[in-house]
Amino acid sequence: MTTSPVADPPFTGFFLAGFECSTHRRLDGRRLDLIAATGHDRFAAADYARCRANGLYTVRDGIRWHLIEQQPGRYDFSSVLPALRAARASGVDVLWDLFHYGWPDDLDFFAPAFVVRFAGLAGAFARLVVEETGRPPLVAPVNEISFVAWGAGTEAFLNPFARGRSTDIKTQLVRAAIAAIEAVWAVAPTARIVHPDPLINVVPDPDKPAERETARKAHMAQYESWDMLAGYQRPELGGQPRYLDILGANHYPWNQWIYNGPEIKLGDPRYRPLRDLLAEVYARYQRPLLLSEVGTEGDGRAPWLRYVGREVRAALRAGLPITGVCLYPITDYPGWDNERHCPTGLWGYPDAGGERPLYHPLARELRRQQRLLARMPAPRSSEE
């Protein structure tokens, strides 16, 4: 097993596998269900066994709120129980996303009931995990608060398809996350909490010096949701530093750009090394970090993991508490808007028997990264 170079790691193994689990409604009214669309609902046991066989001992997966709570306050966990039990049987741990963009149709996103109902779901699911496994859960209450606020409240391509309401959406999701954490901790006080959000870099156009401050603010906006959860901003939302347990950084090749301009590509002198971005987050919050989503499409998959691995090892050598790297998505998936085949995974679509084709270049690079990590100095226990 490839252990973490961080003392007392929260995850089993350093490399994680993430299953795409988005459940939002599109603008045309169709609800997405990526767990079903990728076949993971039918083949969870085989998927988890594949992960473990490839040294991925912790997976990131999700529950589907719209299936679980079809009537207010009544929970039907039949959609997630097979995966929960398959994980236990396969010997893998699961970091569960509780909210991955979707909610029941009867709920008004902006209403107080949204927060109350979400907390109820979180507490009920925590009880289920404890009953089924005898262990406290690992949960990510709300996936990508900042991205949802931008996509749903500024650009209007995510439900509830609003404009000019980014702050309203962000604060509502912060309220929901806090309520969910309290509900989970009421059941399992030692449960670990991850807050995934995009890790970005925004730089000013050198030909537009008047935009320098605006670009800086756009860059710093990535910290607003974590600041709110900690109570550093908008303390009336109820945030406290203890809510910031593990910070999840989602970083893709397109996460750096010029303000109001094009993407900055790897190799460009303006491209900030991932190690520097991680150091900036740690300097601000002093919390353990998880690369909660890293990946890309097509032939770029192995080179991107090679780059991420190099940067993460450099960050670890600099003393940053990086707790793991999650390959995301671990399987190919159909695109949200057009259902095109997105070749992003270590594995492709399943056949009728649940077998998935392996993408060999990424598999070879993963093994290489696991070997390189294993050569790093062993961590010291916090008790030493």
Q: Which of 12-16, 255-259, 379-383 has the lowest mean pLDDT?
A: 379-383
Closest CA to 119 of 105, 98, 137: 98
pLDDT tens digit sequence for 344-369: 999 999 999 999 999 999 999 999 99
Instruction: Using CB atoms within 10 Å of the CB of residue 383, give its burial: 0 to 12 exposed, 13 to 18 middle, 19+ buried.
Output: exposed
Alpha-carbon span 271 to 219, nearest angstrom: 14
2 inside domain = no
Give the model's confidence band at 3: pLDDT under 50 very low, under 70 low, under 90 confident, else very high.
low
219 inside domain = yes
380 inside domain = no
pLDDT tens digit sequence for 113-133: 999 999 999 999 999 999 999
Q: What's the mean pLDDT when you consider all of the chain?
A: 96
129 inside domain = yes
Contact 68, 83 (CB under 8 A): no
Contact 44, 83 (CB under 8 A): yes
**Global pTM?**
0.95
pLDDT tens digit sequence for 172-189: 999 999 999 999 999 999
Alpha-carbon span 2 to 12, nearest angstrom: 9
379 inside domain = no
Contact 84, 138 (CB under 8 A): no
Alpha-carbon span 309 to 326, nearest angstrom: 11
Contact 179, 119 (CB under 8 A): yes
Give the model's confidence band at 7: pLDDT under 50 very low, under 70 low, under 90 confident, else very high.
low
10 inside domain = no
pLDDT of residue 384: 40
CATH code at position 34: 3.20.20.80
Residues of the domain holding 262: 15-374
Contact 54, 346 (CB under 8 A): yes
Contact 275, 318 (CB under 8 A): yes
Give the model's confidence band at 375: pLDDT under 50 very low, under 70 low, under 90 confident, else very high.
very high
Domain count, the chain: 1
The structure tokens 């596998």 sit at 17
User: Mean pLDDT across the stretch 210-226?
Assistant: 96
Q: Which amino acid belongs to residue 163?
A: R
pLDDT at 380 over 70: no
Rounded to the nearest 10 degrees, what angle do helices 274-285 and 301-317 cross at? 50
User: Mean pLDDT across the stretch 267-280?
Assistant: 97
Higher model confidence: residue 10 or residue 326?
326
Alpha-carbon span 248 to 241, nearest angstrom: 16
pLDDT tens digit sequence for 289-313: 999 999 999 999 999 999 999 999 9
pLDDT tens digit sequence for 76-104: 999 999 999 999 999 999 999 999 999 99
pLDDT tens digit sequence for 31-46: 999 999 999 999 999 9
Pairing of strands 246-250, 289-294: parallel
383 inside domain = no
pLDDT of residue 305: 98
pLDDT of residue 171: 98
335 inside domain = yes
